[in-house]
């Protein structure tokens, strides 16, 4: 696993690491010149050479690596990774035993003790996402740990670090028996068509599981539903299965149309009975106002950053305006489901965007539900940014 490097942590950062903060940020390192090869084991010490933790060196947008253990005697080897994977599997035992949900996250980075490593499970097939060259250098060890712990039908990988100017390597398939695509997996009894070999995204975001179920079971019946930034239409499928009168799915990407048609079809819903629109979301707001369209429920799940020909959207700057556009086309007593996966602000800040939007529209509202990550997306309290998902169900009160 390579030799250990003594890395000095500046005094003002040392106590944070000793209290369990898992990210090694660039600014915290006093002697970064000794870091040469990603994947090297860092023996983190304070300025008086007292041991703090061991981690690995791997550059990603968040920092220079992750803490792996606070035990000085623990070796970062096959046994170490076997233990981490085994603990992750044990933590998600109920997911493995649920035939109604065959897609879930098996390993969630620093939440499971290894930052920069994500493993998702799709009915016995696994997708490993590597977030730095550093963690990728442990590839063989981690794959062996996975095979030693669970029954593996196949493994796919996504390199989410820069390789020749491309963040996702084309070579997805690693080993095992390749399934026929689309692979049909289940979430709370609903089918999803996924493609593990199709670039960065496989066709569904697993972190919205609890929100989708809530929409189907308690909110959709008898409602007209607008799903903005709809991707492959997962929210729309759950709304339709929950008895929505009609769903409208809007996304700028051309491929969102056939993908959404497919998701409806595999669940026995005639796509012709639903409305699927390929259009810039911001243009659709204007179109809806012009046509005097209003909806009982609007689902907003934008990316943290999005760019189209005419519009640039940044969650931190523009969410309030997005909500104002939404309020204008939501029926009185209707529900807005506002979601963000942006980790640069917390729930309190997110609620301030909601408050500002309604104030500027002279509207009244009530927050009726809140969600963060589901249990398979394990996080640690010392690293708040890891719990990035914020979803708020807002009732627009007639005023």
Q: Could you report the per-residue pLDDT of 179-212, keeping only the tens digit for each?
A: 999 999 999 999 999 999 988 889 999 999 999 9
Question: Mean pLDDT over residues 257-286, rounded?
Answer: 97
Q: Does the structure show a pLDDT above 70 at 165? A: no
Write 385-389 long-range contacts (CB < 8 A, 24+). 385/62, 385/343, 385/344, 386/108, 386/109, 386/110, 386/111, 386/343, 388/341, 388/342, 388/343, 389/207, 389/208, 389/339, 389/340, 389/341
**What is the model's pTM?**
0.96
SS3 146: helix
Flag whether pLDDT at 1 surpasses 60.
Answer: no
Residue 104 has a pLDDT of 98
pLDDT at 307: 81
* Between 306 and 11, residue with greater pLDDT: 11
Q: Domain extents for the chain? A: 4-69, 78-194, 206-397
Question: Cα separation of 185 and 204, whole Å?
Answer: 10
Q: What is the CATH number of domain 4-69?
A: 2.30.130.10
Q: What is the pLDDT of residues 38-79, one digit of tens each?
A: 999 999 999 999 999 999 999 998 799 999 999 999 999 999
Tokens representing 30 are 């006093």
Predicted pLDDT at 2: 57
Q: Which residues pair with 114 in a beta bridge?
A: none
Q: Is the dihedral of CA 209, 214, 217, 222 positive or negative?
A: negative
CATH class of segment(s) 206-397: alpha beta
Over the stretch 203-247, which tens digit does the pLDDT of each residue have? 999 999 999 999 999 999 999 999 999 999 999 999 999 999 999
pLDDT band at 306 (very low <50, low <70, confident <90, very high): confident
CATH class of the domain whose range is 78-194: alpha beta
CA distances to 51, 191, 218, 241, 316 from 221, in Å: 58, 19, 7, 9, 33
């Amino acid at each position: 696993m390579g030799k250990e490097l003594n890395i000095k942590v500046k005094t003002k950062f040392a106590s944070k690491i000793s209290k369990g903060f898992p990210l090694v940020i660039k600014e915290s390192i006093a002697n970064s010149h000794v870091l040469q090869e990603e994947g090297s084991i860092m023996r983190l010490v304070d300025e008086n050479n007292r041991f703090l933790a061991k981690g690995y060196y791997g550059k990603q947008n968040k920092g220079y690596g992750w803490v792996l253990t606070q035990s000085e005697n623990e070796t970062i080897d096959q046994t170490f990774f076997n233990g981490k994977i085994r603990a992750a599997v044990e933590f998600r035992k109920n997911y493995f035993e649920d035939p109604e949900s065959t897609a879930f996250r098996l390993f969630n980075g620093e939440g499971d003790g290894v930052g920069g490593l994500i493993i998702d499970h799709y009915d016995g097939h696994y997708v490993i996402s590597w977030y730095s060259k550093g963690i990728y250098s442990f590839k063989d060890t981690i794959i062996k740990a996975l095979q030693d712990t669970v029954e593996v039908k196949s493994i796919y990988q996504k390199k989410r670090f820069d390789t020749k100017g491309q963040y996702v390597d084309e070579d997805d398939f690693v080993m095992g028996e390749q399934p026929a695509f689309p692979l049909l997996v289940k979430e709370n009894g609903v089918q999803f068509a996924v493609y593990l070999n199709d670039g960065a995204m496989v066709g569904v975001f697993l972190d919205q599981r609890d929100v989708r179920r809530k929409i189907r079971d308690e909110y959709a019946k008898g409602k007209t539903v607008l799903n903005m930034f709809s991707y492959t239409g997962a929210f729309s499928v759950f709304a339709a299965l929950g008895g929505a009168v009609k769903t409208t799915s809007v996304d700028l990407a051309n491929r969102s149309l056939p993908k959404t048609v497919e998701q409806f079809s595999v669940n026995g819903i005639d796509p012709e009975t639903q409305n699927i629109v390929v259009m810039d979301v911001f243009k659709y707001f204007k179109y809806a106002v012009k046509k005097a369209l209003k909806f009982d429920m609007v689902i907003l799940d934008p990316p943290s950053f999005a760019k189209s020909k005419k519009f640039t959207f940044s969650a931190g700057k523009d969410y309030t305006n997005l909500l104002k556009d939404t309020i204008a086309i939501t029926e009185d007593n209707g529900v807005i489901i506002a979601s963000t996966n942006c980790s640069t602000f917390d729930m309190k800040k997110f609620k301030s965007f909601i408050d500002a939007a309604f104030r500027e529209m002279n509207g009244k509202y009530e927050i009726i539900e809140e969600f963060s990550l589901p249990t398979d997306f394990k996080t640690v309290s010392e690293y708040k940014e890891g719990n990035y998902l914020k979803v708020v169900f807002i009732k627009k009160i007639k005023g």
